[in-house]
Structure 1
């Protein structure tokens, strides 16, 4: 296991970077700040490795970022909660609002901006933990979170989440990697398959307002589709989101066993990533708000579509939708979730 000093936070706390290596060309680098994965190197069809996620060059860049959430752990509630408000057991709550009137990814000081504790690390595994105190970003209850990053001999990157709370609270954890399996250029030429026949439509502020079937729409990824092929169509949902930024509902979900969720393939490099998850949905985001103002670790300017996110999670705004699968964690219960990213070449 390789550990090095990555940088120092403005308050003087040191941040270290840990390197995991499965011995077969799959390597991962992650830092304690935000649990951010700074690099994920994957071999192509010729055995040549490349970093397949977007990221910055320094800790200062991550701290000062304009919230693209590159490579970060996201919580206490991933995605959006409308107007930053919800009612739980008859008690109203007003959260920190950081996306217009809405709460996004846990608020302005969500888990992506916290210094996580490293509990254990070796060549192929990193265990992180975080305590979110009662009232953190106005969420109720003290929440203890554990996350495990692991690389397997089968060329998989696994994320395990676990959490417990001392009072009822909504929780929705995810990871916010931006993938580009070519390692550079645009990811809009990647082919995407989603095991999803339905998606959540959205209204103002990208808050869900209904469920729609994908057949006959640009949201039909049940078979491989080039991401950029239909992104410029005049579909009202695409226009409102400036591309894809929608929650897709898995056709087959199992909270106990990771189920097929998505396949992302880059024809040029031959790299293919299969995603399996215990979550009921995946937020597909096509990097719509990358506008060239942010520069990556290699100095390149990131533009729309240079990376795409496949954020496995529960539905956005679930605390305000009793018809959605519940995201409430109660005392005595344990929140558990697993997402597997399995790499292969074709």
Structure 2
């Protein structure tokens, strides 16, 4: 998840030849957009309806050291088994900007995600240096970091990994990941317009207040699949661009599709004009051992996310437009989502 680094000091970022020093909120590093990143702010409600809500946030010029005034919106909507999250923004000056949605999911509705099976169609991942900043290279996935075929995560690893999706991004969302519940009776697809997907298994999770139903959320009680671009992008020429410019609004669209087991196996849907997506080639990634096991419970009982939630048939879902986009100690993670 995006961060910015290099320059004369550990928190300098260069934009079109100008150098800006961002705030330091993690030792020598700038993480998650600074001390008051977007994930720590109260957003303004713009509109709300039975199946859709929009909130907005304004970040003034110079906040946390970032150039330009940015206005951002997040729209969450429900339709035909999909949870859609659309992030849009505009700026009056070129500025690093890389927001993401940081929702936690538990398809079992209780316990940890130890039995969840994960598929990520990515052959490479971002490489990290010892200082927890990107080296600028993408390396082949291997071993416990390879999710090209469904598998459970290794609790000994502590996943906080950015993957480069194999399919190139475009204006229309494309398949980015799949999670299956422990029993195999519920799956969640992820579709996005972004080039990368960050997987965090919640290994540091320790929420100080009770969650849904009074449950205490502890390590690996939920996982995150976060469509994004990449950390330190302004200083890494090979990374997808993360500079938001006047007259070129930002737009990210991500969909989470909840699919109950039906005895026929999960079929990854292809987006189109039809209300029911058609099967796609990604169905071959699914494990026959997980197909059709058990009876799907109502999604309100089956899908759990950690935090406040809009009412929906998909259970609790919480969004965080985190300008930093990522890891806790990134050298510079733009404006809690900028970057």
TM-score (norm 2): 0.72
For the residues of structure 2 that align with 1:204 and 1:314, how far apart are their CA atoms? 21
Quote the offset at 1:218 in angstroms: 1.4
Stretches of structure 2 that go unaligned for 5 or more consecutive residues are: 262-339
Residue 130 of structure 1 aligns to a residue whose secondary structure is strand
Residue 179 (str. 1) matches residue 105 (str. 2): yes
Residue 117 (str. 1) matches residue 44 (str. 2): yes
> What is the CA RMSD across the aligned residues, in angstroms?
1.7
Structural mapping, 1:288-307, within 5 Å: 288-291=203-206, 295-307=210-222
For the residues of structure 1 that align with 2:35 and 2:107, how far apart are their CA atoms? 30
2:259 equivalent in structure 1: 344
For the residues of structure 1 that align with 2:121 and 2:43, how far apart are their CA atoms? 33
CA contact (8 A) 1:193 1:223 kept: yes
1:80 equivalent in structure 2: 3
For residues 184-215 of structure 1, the C-alpha deviation after alignment (integer angstroms, 9 at most, x for no partner) is: 1011210000011100121234212231111x
Quote the offset at 1:267 in angstroms: 2.8
Residue 98 (str. 1) matches residue 25 (str. 2): yes
For the residues of structure 2 that align with 1:295 and 1:99, how far apart are their CA atoms? 27
Quote the offset at 1:291 in angstroms: 4.8
Distance 1:290 1:115, change over 3 A: closer
CA contact (8 A) 1:80 1:102 kept: no
For the residues of structure 2 that align with 1:223 and 1:186, how far apart are their CA atoms? 21
2:176 equivalent in structure 1: 261
2:66 equivalent in structure 1: 139
For the residues of structure 1 that align with 2:209 and 2:219, how far apart are their CA atoms? 11
Residue 192 (str. 1) matches residue 192 (str. 2): no
Quote the offset at 1:158 in angstroms: 0.3
Residue 165 (str. 1) matches residue 91 (str. 2): yes
Which stretch has the larger CA shift, 195-204 or 296-305? Answer: 296-305
Stretches of structure 1 that go unaligned for 5 or more consecutive residues are: 1-77, 233-237
Quote the offset at 1:178 in angstroms: 1.2
Looking at secondary structure, tell me which structure has more strand per residue: 1
1:33 equivalent in structure 2: none
CA contact (8 A) 2:169 2:194 kept: yes
1:273 equivalent in structure 2: 188
For the residues of structure 2 that align with 1:292 and 1:115, how far apart are their CA atoms? 19
For the residues of structure 1 that align with 2:207 and 2:229, how far apart are their CA atoms? 30
CA contact (8 A) 1:181 1:269 kept: no
CA contact (8 A) 2:144 2:153 kept: no
Quote the offset at 1:292 in angstroms: 7.4
TM-score (norm 1): 0.70
Residue 80 of structure 1 aligns to a residue whose secondary structure is coil
Quote the offset at 1:99 in angstroms: 2.8
Distance 1:156 1:205, change over 3 A: farther
For the residues of structure 2 that align with 1:300 and 1:122, how far apart are their CA atoms? 28
